[in-house]
Every structure is written in C-alpha cells, then in structure tokens.
Structure 1
Amino acid sequence: MVLTFGYKRSIKYQMGIVTGFFLVMMASGFVASTITTRLPSLIPVMTVAGALYILYLAYLILRSSITMKEDIVRPLGFFQGMFLQLLNAKTLIVGLTAYSTFLVNPPKTLLWRTASASFFTALAITALALYSLFGFFLFRILQSPRVGKMINTLFAAALVYTALALLWPMVAQFA
C-alpha cells in the first residue's frame, strides 16, 4: 500500500489494521484466560498448535517469492484494514499463543487485559510503521531475487526460533 499510494494515503488503512489488531488481542486475552482457567489441560495443545502454525508460516515465507503487484486502483480504507485483522487467522493465533503461553498467570482484570492488548498494539504500530517506512526505502533492494530470498530466509529463521522457544519448556520436561 505505502509503495503504491504513499504513506499519507495509507494511514486510514493502517489505523484500521491497528484497531482490528487491538480488538483481536482483547478477544484473545478473554478466550485464553477462560481456557487456561477452566481447561488448563488445553495449554500444551494450544502451545503445540501455535508453534506448528508459526513453523507453517516460516515454511510459507521461505517458499514465497518477492513480487510487487500494483493492481490496486485506490487505497484501502479504515474498515478494510480493520476487517482484515478481524478475519486474519494469524492475528488470532498470535494472540491466543501469546496469552496462553507467555502470559499464563496474569491478573484476570479488565484493566490488565486492556493494558496488555494496548502494549501488543503499540508493538504492532511500531512494526507497521517500520514495515511501511522500510518497505518504501527497500523497494529497490527487494527487486533482486537473491536479496529477497535472503530476507525471507532470515524472517523464516526468526519464526523457527520463536516456535522452538515456545516448545522448549515442554521438551525440557521430558529430557
């Protein structure tokens, strides 16, 4: 979007993404809290499912190619960005994984859930802004298939590390 329409014309879409992300994080906090309180035996299952999904994303990134498509006629708006996140399975998996593995025993208050969702959203805003700005500057570099493959490999390796970090406590119990 930023590459095609510029940063200013993409702000509404980005704000929609941020709003949708916050709503998904709030819902994930409630769902994960309910599951971990009422069905704690599901925590390992959710951890493994989240790690497997992260590994799947790493696989997709590793196999993807860097191609720029510019077939969007006008910038997408706020609601398109928000609904993209509300319907995005990756966002839900990230939220459920974060709340059910890294934040297993937090206070169960609305204030804490709002604060944690706000923190995750602040991280998402930072990542989105950096992604947009760096994407603008790296556009020429990413045209090289070799450089694109190296960047995809780096991102995939980071995801594999994240998945292994999720699984390591479970594996260490059996060692």
Structure 2
Amino acid sequence: MKDDRWVQIAESQFAHEQEGLDLVKQALPDAAPYRAWANFEFRDSRGRWHEVDLLVLARDTLFLIELKHYRGVLTGNDHLWKRNGRTEDSPLLLARRKAQYFASLLKDSIRQRGGHDAVRRIPYVQELVFLHHNEFVCDLPPNSRINLYGLDGHQKTSGLPGISERLLAAPRHEPIPER
C-alpha cells in the first residue's frame, strides 16, 4: 500500500508496534477502497478519549485493529487472558468497545451534517486483535479465538489465521463503492 492510502497520524513510540504496522501496510493492496489510518485518538460522545493503533478500510468493513506483540503461550477465555504468569483483561473486549464508540461517532457525525441516508452506507466497524510476535502461540479455546489474527504464514505455530486472511477476504457485508 502506497503512502497516499496509508496515513500515520503519530509515530509509534515502540519499534515492535511499528513493525506490526509495517506488516499490515505491506499486506494491503494499493487499490480502492483500501485505506488505513494508524496511531490516532478519537473522542466519543461522552468526552472520553480512545487510542487506536490501526483502522483499515477494506472491501466492506472498517477494521479497528489492536496490535499486540505478545511472546509465549496465551491461555484463558473471552474475558481474561493469561500469559507468562500474568492475567489481564482480553484486549479484544477493549477493541470491541472502541469499535462500537467509533461506529457511533461516525453515525452521529453524519446525522449532524444532515446525511441521514448516508448513515446506512457507513461500513460495519469490526474489532480485531493482531498478535504479531513470531514466538507467539494461542492456546485459547476455539470460540475465544474469534477476531484474533497472527502473522501471515505462521498459522501452524501460532494457532491463529494470518491477518491478511481477514483483511483481504471477500465481502461479508455490502461492498464499499470504489471511489
């Protein structure tokens, strides 16, 4: 993907995060409607700020992607993740909330501008977590792996489909017009 389709609002503070962003950038086609915005914040309707690692506009979906550079074996469930002797809330839950807030913000913004018909054309906003360390293994139950993606070509070792599999997939919703 060329730079005119990829907008990085702020430089990454971490080399591993930039590596993850670069992997996605290399995987995305330089064709409409694909676009991406990295490292930005938005304010929801309640005044709360949310940090977004990456937002990718694909054929039919806006993917709000949380990048994680986790090493080791991940266990747990939909709500709690365990790795390297530590327990944390699932980053997928946080990404889900951000995706919902972002979708609401888009709809509210269009309504305020008088575009009630355009609200129906807003793409579906889907949360994903991209676990991009090459020494990562997902040992979550199958239903807890939904919307988790790993490195392309590492499915056998990571236990997750590659990120390109979802970002480049055939549309599941109404396709976005190519403009």
Q: TM-score, normalised by structure 1?
A: 0.29
Structure (1 or 2) with the greater strand fraction: 2
Q: Select the structure with the greater relative contact order (CA < 8 A; seq sep ≥ 6).
A: 1
- More helix, by proportion: 1
Question: TM-score normalized by structure 2?
Answer: 0.29
